[in-house]
Structure 1
């Protein structure tokens, strides 16, 4: 990080985190997802469904789409990474996938309160999310070139923190000037900006175009300063050759105990983390009856905690290595999952609450800070740990497998949440599988070497 050109490369790489983050913060978690859940619930009730059943069915609808999206990401990421390595070019693919994600995000404006095009908008969101994640996974493969093994933990933590600050700023702007509450006003009691109509929820629906504009504008530093490694020869690999190389890489990983254990561990705990991100806002809407503004404040707390603790986690990673950071974060998230399962508007772990009690709200705000902080630090440390298990000559392939490990069982948490939701008819008990997945990931970490294969 000493020379100016390398600083520019690092800043260009970090700006991708900043540009892409609102797709998760505003789309996946705090604005679009709960709005979708509310529209889906109202649409189902209008069709004659019971309110409690409609809430569960709306969550099931979202989880089913997430399952499909996760599987697409899982099974394309290793091939795309291997292809990018073989071709010597990652940047053009990142730009293409980003452009497609931007187009899909802009389409979300069309989710009207009557739910007339509900399924189309569900497909648009998850298609854009898939493209966004494809770009993000390829961007991760630049990390090994940006510093030494001792430096990448701090670089990764700083980038993650920087990305979350982007989430904070974007969420602030949405809440202050666009997303309306039940009275048609924003967080600071203003009508939605640009004359957007609160009656048709245009302020909240603006989240789609907002994500698209943010992504497009802040992608510019990446375009200006990020370049593919010029030392890698550019070529046009054949499809069969890429598949053959990828199979060799998978077999090679199978013979490396620490790499195998880490990828298996992250397969479970990252799936659980994604479920917490994806359903946090929906849980707040369906279980606690929070409105858009409350969920947004929850999101600000989570994003600020994520930005600060990710940065602290990067420092801890630099000093102690990534494995202790990963373990500590998983324990925090297990605690969060336990609170989610044991809490409702009426009770906490079976202890009855007075009507209108603020205890569930306070507890869930604290959970938001824990999800954001521990989740951000967990992903940053995991990215750093992957560098310690990466062949320097094949970074795209390695991070493709890393993405595969994060999405290969992407169907598992949503599917289990769906099954438990159907069996228990409870939004809270549906989260039990998330705790189990974190515990499995924690158990598998015992076979991961602190410094990767070098210390195996």
Structure 2
């Protein structure tokens, strides 16, 4: 077999981001999440709750799904990373989790618009989401082998940019051809394709099978062009993987910069996931947007994410990832304060005239920053992790990174759920993400910009 060039290998790695991004763009944030919120709130409204209580109940259910799936992802990630490093193989794991992605996404079709099987929709979503996040751990572990330390920042940023471009295209196609407006027509006035029933919201529900087929198609370049870079080791045992993982965890006390970084990213990435997970539902429940409006908002956010991620990768290459992360977090904090401080009738306590479009304009601006700064933050975070990664155990180290991003993944949904329940307001419920960003920013002060080579490292 002809040897695959490094350039083609990098492009194959990029295609994972292109293939997988629709789970986050279409399902978590801009189509299925808002669809679930609208169906659930209408169901609870019909059950006798008032409008605010129904919206709060819907948001609480969504938070529970994200919380439970986050716990499963977080606590399984380090072990699987350690086991993969012991066997020397990652592609078989990626294949298994890809199957989970496809099955879970496709099953979302079965959640009916009458609210009779809300838990089916949540379980299907969670199953696929777990597969998507586990696959990402193994993909991230391949980043150090794709270029020099000076190159991986730009590679990481370009990968996220390419992925967000895929998210934009997939969302664009869903809105133009499938997702029905209240009129029963798509954004460009068509009936949903393939004879889909607008009254049964089949155009919107197709988002699950569409996401599954998109992933299956565009993962082909990855599996064709990305090969294992190290030797395989047969007969790896669970006990050996656990022992390796335990030694790595114990060794964190000698790696102070890594420990601080894992703690910092644990909080700020949880906050970012909270923004992604509840941004679309906020628009539906607080601003009363239609799913099509949320989708347009998503296109704007995803385009900005692609552009910002690419530009952020260049800034990362010039200044390093830590300053890029710091600026992105401060920008997202300002966005969160703005979002929590407005609804249809007021902003920062200033009463608006009835029917004012100012909240819509401001939230669209927030969408640009959420998408752009969020993409930049994720790309730079991946680069900073590379600077802290043991080249002999990259998947295990990225498993710990996955744990730091998911060990408290229940925290943002839980805090949002609690804040929503006690305040009775879906708007106020978003406020805990501000605290999580601030904690992450504080811990980032103790992270050495150059990783384990920096002056804060304590030798073993």
Q: Report the equivalent of 2:171.
A: 171
Contact kept, 8 Å, 2:89 with 2:232, in 1: the verdict is no
Q: Following superposition of structure 1 onto structure 2, how do residues 39-438 of structure 1 map, counting pairs within 5 Å?
A: 39-229=39-229, 231-438=230-437
Alpha-carbon shift at residue 433 of structure 1 (Å): 1.0
Q: Where in structure 1 are there 5+ consecutive unaligned residues? A: none
The normalised TM-score by structure 1 is 0.98
Alpha-carbon shift at residue 4 of structure 1 (Å): 6.6
Runs of 4+ off more than 2 Å: 231-234
* Alpha-carbon distance in structure 1 between the residues aligned to 2:4 and 2:74: 36
Contact kept, 8 Å, 2:322 with 2:449, in 1: the verdict is yes
Alpha-carbon shift at residue 419 of structure 1 (Å): 1.1
Contact kept, 8 Å, 2:110 with 2:120, in 1: the verdict is no
Q: Where in structure 2 are there 5+ consecutive unaligned residues? A: 456-460
Q: Report the equivalent of 1:28.
A: 28
Question: What secondary structure sits across from 1:447 in the alignment?
Answer: coil
Deviation string 1:11-58 (CA, Å, 9 cap, x unpaired) is 111100000000000000000000001111111122222221010000
* Alpha-carbon distance in structure 2 between the residues aligned to 1:399 and 1:386: 8
* Alpha-carbon distance in structure 1 between the residues aligned to 2:56 and 2:253: 40
Question: What secondary structure sits across from 2:11 in the alignment?
Answer: helix
* Alpha-carbon distance in structure 2 between the residues aligned to 1:233 and 1:117: 45
Question: What secondary structure sits across from 1:200 in the alignment?
Answer: coil
Contact kept, 8 Å, 2:345 with 2:352, in 1: the verdict is yes
* Alpha-carbon distance in structure 1 between the residues aligned to 2:443 and 2:270: 14
Deviation string 1:142-162 (CA, Å, 9 cap, x unpaired) is 001001111100000000000
Deviation string 1:82-112 (CA, Å, 9 cap, x unpaired) is 0110000000110111012101111111111
Question: What secondary structure sits across from 2:267 in the alignment?
Answer: helix
* Alpha-carbon distance in structure 2 between the residues aligned to 1:233 and 1:50: 59
Alpha-carbon shift at residue 232 of structure 1 (Å): 2.7
Deviation string 1:266-315 (CA, Å, 9 cap, x unpaired) is 00000000000000000000000000110000000000000000000000
* Alpha-carbon distance in structure 2 between the residues aligned to 1:303 and 1:236: 43
Alpha-carbon shift at residue 443 of structure 1 (Å): 0.8
Q: Could you say what the CA RMSD is over the residues aligned between the two structures, in angstroms?
A: 1.0
Contact kept, 8 Å, 2:83 with 2:236, in 1: the verdict is yes
The normalised TM-score by structure 2 is 0.97
Alpha-carbon shift at residue 236 of structure 1 (Å): 2.3
Q: Report the equivalent of 2:7.
A: 7
* Alpha-carbon distance in structure 1 between the residues aligned to 2:435 and 2:247: 32
Deviation string 1:381-420 (CA, Å, 9 cap, x unpaired) is 0000000000001100010000000011111111111111
Contact kept, 8 Å, 2:280 with 2:294, in 1: the verdict is yes
* Alpha-carbon distance in structure 2 between the residues aligned to 1:232 and 1:150: 25
* Alpha-carbon distance in structure 1 between the residues aligned to 2:364 and 2:422: 28
